[in-house]
A and B are shown apart, each in its own frame.
Chain A
Amino acid sequence: MKGAEVISKLSTILNGEELIVSSNGNVSRQVYHLLQGDHIYLRGSMGLPVPIGLGLALAQPNRTVLVITGDGNFLMGLSAMTTVAHVQPENLKIIVLDNEIYATTGGQNTVSSTIDYITMIQGMGINNSRSFDMSDSDHLISEILKDTTREQGLNVLHLKVEEDTIILDNIPHHPIDIKENFVNRLL
């Protein structure tokens, strides 16, 4: 299963109230094109989707905040996960789409293949995390995504995914409009 297919699947599971932060590059394009609603599509600030999701979760404690991030972004901002673990925001969910590469810049390897994500995340102090290898089987993706997005409490979902073959179009909005649309949504 590819990252874009996981994101597509999410459209049947989300209730439309979730606030999503997506990491720069392909992941933001996929979230923009494949999911409904106005979300925070990051176009730069590689490494920062997790802290941005944390700040948003703290400011909007009654909304579910979902961070959807590539592995390269997740690893660049890894230490922010220790802050997340320290704060334990109940309403924050983090999905790592791990294709083991920087797909957006041409598929160069990340160091993801040698990491034991669950041990690492647990060691930071986050008890509720799951990891599934979606690259050779589809497991029960709907169930997995339901558990992550609907369950109470902070949780992290790590999914090994296959490299995407279709590159979606660029997001047709300037970040100023992305921000305005999102801010207006919360009014």
Chain B
Amino acid sequence: MIESADFLSYLTDNGYTFSTGVPCSYFRDLLIDLEKDDRFTYLPATREDEAMGIATGYFLGAGKTFLIMQNSGLANIGDALTSLTQLYKIPLLMFVSYRGLEPDRDFPEHIIMGDVTKSVLDAYQIPYWVIEEHNWKNVLDNALEIMEELSKPVCILVKKGVLSD
């Protein structure tokens, strides 16, 4: 598991102090630390598309936001990805849980989205990476570079056990 402290320090080092989203249990430990960390403001949104709207406004006001959501939330942000953030070229760092894989065999509600998560991101033309404990910094460095270069949202998929027990 990635230590939240290392993960959050990486984000402040890269200029992030603001975050919004809708929780997933895969981010439980990270969110506990994020919410009590004075370096960050985490705003709980009611929906993922709302979170993406908040992040867009924050970016246009000269701020940076990282988003936290479950992959089920990908199904709520289609229009925000196509007619807002990609249309207006808004760079955003999205952390999305990758539910519906093997560890979720007792959670049928996640299975279909788990099956189609990568296809959905491909269809929406959103670059994505899966992070693991051993490679996360390199992957994030690369993702941030591509986010800046393309000026659009990029997605980091987070499997079970990577950012929470």
Interface of A toward B, CB cutoff 8 Å: 19, 21, 24, 40, 42-60, 77, 79-80, 82-83, 87, 175-176, 178-179, 182-183, 186
Contact = CB atoms under 8 A, between A and B. Distances in A.
A48 B80 contact: yes
Interface extent on B, as a size class? 20 to 34
B53 interface: yes
Contacts of A186: 61-62
A176 B88 contact: yes
A58 B53 contact: no
Nearest to B65: A55
Interface stretch (B8-16, B32-40, B44-52, B136-144): B44-52
Contact of B54 (A40, A52, A176): A52
Q: A interface, by DSSP: helix, strand, loop or mixed?
A: helix
B83 A83 contact: no
B89 A87 contact: no
A69 B58 CA distance: 19
A180 to B, nearest CB: 9
A43 B83 contact: yes
Given A79-B47, A80-B50, A52 B56 contact: yes
Given A45-B79, A178-B88, A179-B88, A40 B60 contact: yes
A56 B91 CA distance: 15
B101 interface: no
14 contacts: A21-B57, A50-B53, A51-B49, A52-B57, A58-B43, A59-B59, A59-B63, A60-B61, A80-B46, A83-B44, A83-B50, A83-B54, A87-B43, A182-B60
Given A55-B57, A58-B41, A175-B87, 12 more contacts: A45-B49, A48-B80, A49-B53, A55-B20, A55-B56, A56-B61, A58-B58, A58-B61, A59-B18, A79-B50, A179-B90, A183-B62
B57 to A, nearest CB: 3
B61 A51 contact: no
